[in-house]
Structure 1
């Protein structure tokens, strides 16, 4: 368990964890040894000179005080290490998720990662703070007490020691019996979380289609299955709990019978037998709690296994000797990209000279946005190469690559904060004047002027308090503030009304001036002013050239152009 925790979180956390485990173990041993003082206390109390009990009582009180100090320090160390590990787990998970290719985030990952980042990490790491100390106490202290009993009377000690393999066998059997049910419950937990997220995100569509009841039934079914799985998991653990209780009670009864037999036969003194029974009763509570603790530890370990699986997902490799490009021209060299069994791009070759604009057009599903993703290295190509300034993007440090590229997508996500906070993401160290200048160039200043809070206005989660056009202006202002030499635009005006489209278009023109640009677009004005146009269909370039050349050819692009013009005119 500890080994897996350290493997997941990194060896830098090993020293404090090992110190904490050692301190908790010393505390458990001290608690067991302090119980040994009960034997001379009871012997003196029930012997011929009861007054001799006071020194032993003083020693017992001192031992209890020492155990209390050790327990306090152990628990405090556990909480501190648990807090450090929790922070480390979230940092490592966040950094790893940021390095994974976008293709890793398939359907269902949202619920899985949400459950893992929510309760999963907390449950897994809290083992140090909350479960480890009582578990060590429940296992080590009874063993120390058994050793003490062996020292006073080997017959009673062997009788107590016989319980150890039975308790271990019961716990092992319970772990095997509950493993499948626990795994199924965790799987359904993630599925139910994904259903909740889906249900909340799909509210506008569901209400417009009058399908809220149907979708609610799907969510209800997921929650009902989770309830059934939780019940099965609890029932499968019940025999282990009952078995542990029976073993503890049976051993205590055996010790009672054997002690009475030895005392009545004159083979052991009554005070010693009474002390052994008191020690046995002292061990009963931690042993009875062992089943519950073991179940919670198994749950924490299962979360660690899932966290480990996410952290083992292969990120895009960083180059061992990164190359820094000196130019900003772009090249797709015989690029092929597959997503699963589907060929998204097939032997695509395109070049964009520095400071020029390439427009990529074509039907939906042709692979246009994938070209932008490969340039930004959200994925790696299956074959061929994507180059920036003559350097393969796989040979460029990811931080350096992203510092050279500004991306504006059709679907803009804004973080829950102020407008200024979201614009400043483009360059966090920018001063206020630079932020205002970028916002003005993007036409965002007129949006800010009509908002009640101005620059301090909160945009809501995902930018929900702004319109689509307003969110797009924030995205363009962010890209302008970044001032990157390469700009990637993906359908930035396709879903906007004419007023917002005109404002966003003005911001885009300021953004792309003097930069190397690749634009995926349907709007005519964006396509017309491109230096080079590529028509993509089925993952292949079927036509390319300037706007006028492609119109003269009367091919696929000309059909696209005339159809778009007819839609605008209509």
Structure 2
């Protein structure tokens, strides 16, 4: 576990961690030696001159003072190292997450990282602050006491030493049996949390359907899975906990019987027997605590393993000698991309001259948005190449590439803050006049005028306090302010009302003017603004040309156009 912790944290923390571990081990050993001083004290007290115990009592008091100081220093060191590591780990995890490809962030992973960055990090790095000291004490102190017993009487010491392999085997077997159940419990907890959120989000649908009094089957099932997994987890812990307790009690009974036998035979004094029983009793407490500490350490180990998995995820490689493209034309050259076992794009070849627009159309799941993601290098292609200005995007520094691309997604995410702060993300050093001009071009000024607070209006988490059309206007203003030579549009008007759609279209037209544009079109009428159109189906281009050319040819594109533009029966307006 320590190796995993060091690998997760980085080698810069190795020295302070080893120093803290050494201090904790020394403290635990001193605690064991402290109990060894009970031997001469009890011998003197049970001897002919009890007053001889005073020097040993003074030595015992001094040892207690030394132990108290060492314990304070080791606990303080553990707390300081733990908090320092926590702060460093947040920075390291944040820096690494910022370097991972955008395509890595699936919904599942976003949820996992959210939990990991809060509860997971605290649990993992709480090991140094709260768990290592008692764990080391539970191991080292009994071993030190066993060594004292061996010196005091080899027979009693040997009898107590038998407990060591039994305790080790019990703990190892318990850890192995619990590993699978712990992983299942984590998955079930994650699923149950997702179902609870789903249940809350589904309230409008459930109430509209008159199902508010019915049980939500998916949530019930996931909670039952959690219950069953918790039961298995408890049952898996029982053999280890009971076995450990029985082992400790059995060894104590053996020592008691053996000590009595030796005392009655005159081979050992009553003081030594009493001392050994006191020492054995002192061994029992930390050994019995191993079960509880072990469970907490396993939980921390699981979090560490998940952190380690994320930190071992390789970011997309950066070029050793990056090339800056001089032009802004786009080319997809025999591009193939697979996501898992599914081929999303296969042998796709497209070219967009600088300053022109291409619309990519096709049925849902055809791979349209994937082309935008490959161009922005959210993923790397499996075969072929994506080029900007004749330069493979893999040979362009990521910051340089992203500085030349403005992206407007269909689903807009706004950060919790003011409208102005969200617009300025496009170019933080822009002047107030430039920010206002971008807002006017995107027709965001109309929204700002009617909002209480104006530019200082809070958009809420994710932009929840704004409508979909208002969020899109913020996104377009942000892209206009960035003033990048290339624009990627993932159909931004498909879910807007007519008023907002008209306003957004006007802002999009201003955004596209004079720029190289690749747009994904779900509404076929938007393709009229494109210089060329590519029809994508099942990851392959099956038709390409201008809109009028493709219509005149008939075939798949004409059929797709007719289906997409035919009014649905019962439509009005």
Q: TM-score with structure 2 length normalisation?
A: 0.91
Counterpart position of 2:146: 146
Give the direction of change, closer, same or farther, for the CA distance of 1:223–1:121 in structure 2 (3 Å limit): farther
How is 1:400-419 mapped onto 2 (pairs within 5 angstroms)? 400-419=400-419
Counterpart position of 1:158: 158
Give the direction of change, closer, same or farther, for the CA distance of 1:214–1:13 in structure 2 (3 Å limit): farther
Counterpart position of 2:447: 447
Q: CA deviation at 1:377?
A: 1.1
Alpha-carbon separation, structure 2, partners of 1:446 and 1:338: 43
Describe the superposition over 1:462-482 as per-residue Cα deviations: whole angstroms up to 9, x where unpaired.
211110001101111221222
Would you say the 8 A contact 1:108–1:194 is kept in 2? Answer: no
Give the direction of change, closer, same or farther, for the CA distance of 1:287–1:418 in structure 2 (3 Å limit): same
Give the direction of change, closer, same or farther, for the CA distance of 1:348–1:68 in structure 2 (3 Å limit): same
Counterpart position of 2:131: 131
Q: CA deviation at 1:288?
A: 0.9
Alpha-carbon separation, structure 2, partners of 1:547 and 1:176: 63
Q: CA deviation at 1:401?
A: 1.6
How is 1:28-177 mapped onto 2 (pairs within 5 angstroms)? 28-106=28-106, 108-177=108-177
Q: CA deviation at 1:111?
A: 4.7
Give the direction of change, closer, same or farther, for the CA distance of 1:279–1:341 in structure 2 (3 Å limit): closer
Counterpart position of 2:236: 236
Give the stretch that moved more between structures: 24-33 or 314-323: 314-323
Counterpart position of 2:355: 355
1:377 is paired with a residue whose SS is coil
Describe the superposition over 1:314-341 as per-residue Cα deviations: whole angstroms up to 9, x where unpaired.
4433333322222211111122223344
Give the direction of change, closer, same or farther, for the CA distance of 1:41–1:124 in structure 2 (3 Å limit): same
Q: CA deviation at 1:212?
A: 6.4
Alpha-carbon separation, structure 2, partners of 1:432 and 1:279: 76
Would you say the 8 A contact 1:329–1:516 is kept in 2? Answer: yes
Q: CA deviation at 1:515?
A: 2.0
Alpha-carbon separation, structure 1, partners of 2:427 and 2:63: 60
Alpha-carbon separation, structure 1, partners of 2:435 and 2:37: 73
Counterpart position of 1:13: 13
In structure 2, list runs of 5 or more residues that go unmatched: none
1:363 is paired with a residue whose SS is coil
Q: CA deviation at 1:230?
A: 1.1
Matched, 1:192 2:172: no
1:369 is paired with a residue whose SS is helix
Give the direction of change, closer, same or farther, for the CA distance of 1:215–1:372 in structure 2 (3 Å limit): farther
Alpha-carbon separation, structure 1, partners of 2:176 and 2:542: 59
Alpha-carbon separation, structure 2, partners of 1:133 and 1:206: 51
Give the stretch that moved more between structures: 512-521 or 460-469: 512-521
Counterpart position of 2:512: 512
Q: CA deviation at 1:218?
A: 0.9
Number of equivalenced pairs: 570
Give the direction of change, closer, same or farther, for the CA distance of 1:29–1:94 in structure 2 (3 Å limit): same
Give the direction of change, closer, same or farther, for the CA distance of 1:88–1:222 in structure 2 (3 Å limit): farther
Would you say the 8 A contact 1:361–1:521 is kept in 2? Answer: yes
Give the stretch that moved more between structures: 141-150 or 83-92: 83-92
Matched, 1:495 2:495: yes
Alpha-carbon separation, structure 1, partners of 2:342 and 2:154: 72
Alpha-carbon separation, structure 2, partners of 1:400 and 1:165: 60
Would you say the 8 A contact 1:344–1:367 is kept in 2? Answer: yes
Would you say the 8 A contact 1:111–1:193 is kept in 2? Answer: no
Give the stretch that moved more between structures: 457-466 or 436-445: 436-445
1:268 is paired with a residue whose SS is coil
In structure 1, list runs of 5 or more residues that go unmatched: none
Aligned-residue CA RMSD (Å)? 2.7
Give the stretch that moved more between structures: 375-384 or 111-120: 111-120
Alpha-carbon separation, structure 1, partners of 2:294 and 2:559: 69
2:519 is paired with a residue whose SS is strand
Q: CA deviation at 1:248?
A: 1.6
Q: TM-score with structure 1 length normalisation?
A: 0.92
Counterpart position of 1:427: 427
Give the direction of change, closer, same or farther, for the CA distance of 1:210–1:362 in structure 2 (3 Å limit): farther
Counterpart position of 2:474: 474
Counterpart position of 2:247: 247
2:216 is paired with a residue whose SS is helix
Give the direction of change, closer, same or farther, for the CA distance of 1:176–1:548 in structure 2 (3 Å limit): closer
Q: CA deviation at 1:30?
A: 1.4
